[in-house]
Amino acid sequence: MARKPIIAGNWKMNNTASEGAELVKALKPLVKDAKCEVVVCVPAIDIPAVKKAIHGSKIRLGAQNVHFAEKGAYTGEISAKMLKEYGVQYVIIGHSERRAYFGETDETVNKRTLAALNAGLTPIVCIGESLEEREGGLTEKVLDRQISIDFQGIEDFSKIVIAYEPIWAIGTGRTATDEQANETIGYIRKRMKKVYAHKNVGRLRIQYGGSMNAKNAKGLMAQPEIDGGLIGGASLKAEDFAKVVNFDK
């Protein structure tokens, strides 16, 4: 079965609720004929307004983080059940910024991923190596560690998405070539099949999360191993994001 491409926008800490609603209202007609799944992952406080604004469109709603507990004394956190009740379908887990700034570990990424799955959400789980690790020849070692820990306990990999983030290519002025991105994502897919055989890994979708934009989306999406993109800055303007979504035109 062919893997359906998925393009997800990660707004990060941008857009108030009203700004977010206006953005997706402008986006809706631009992506109405998209052949891929289209997701916007928005700040938690924007979720109700964006949910209302995307009604009747092909755009799906995502969040940017989720806690691993169902409830409890976790001030400032949001549970999977809370997100689900508001109509969220996808959630980003383990983004490089969460790992770098907020203490996320492979172990907590695994717990959050399982919590999201248990609530019926689709996790977009981010993995990838830093510039120091890339230059030190440690890319495969880092990915092997993340793969072995982050996905423990998952029984059906058609229900998750992996986003490969080459951290060294995000905001550094360095870019991965189409071939580099494809090669590394191919390695991830091969490793996943080896470690998690017979768990529907053949239907696993792997996005590229290294600054995909309107200029490079077509080339990246032409690569056989790349199933989509996790889009940062290019998702903050409707026209720019639509060009990525409509990479095949």
Of the candidates 171, 27, 165, the residue with the CA atom closest to the CA atom of residue 99: 165
Active site residue 67: no
Please answer whether residues 16 and 238 qualify as being in contact, where contact means their C-beta atoms are separated by less than 8 angstroms.
no
Q: Of 67, 95, 133, 225, which one is the catalytic site residue?
A: 95
Q: Of 37, 104, 133, 165, which one is the catalytic site residue?
A: 165
**DSSP characters for 150-214?**
HTTT---GGG-EEEE--GGGSSSS----HHHHHHHHHHHHHHHHHHTTTSSGGG-EEEE-S---T
- Alpha-carbon distances, residue 85 vs 118, 120, 137, 156 (angstroms): 14, 11, 44, 23
Active site residue 95: yes
Q: Which residues pair with 61 in a beta bridge?
A: 40
Amino acid, single-letter form, for residue 80? A
- Residue 62's SS3 state is strand
Active site residues: 95, 165
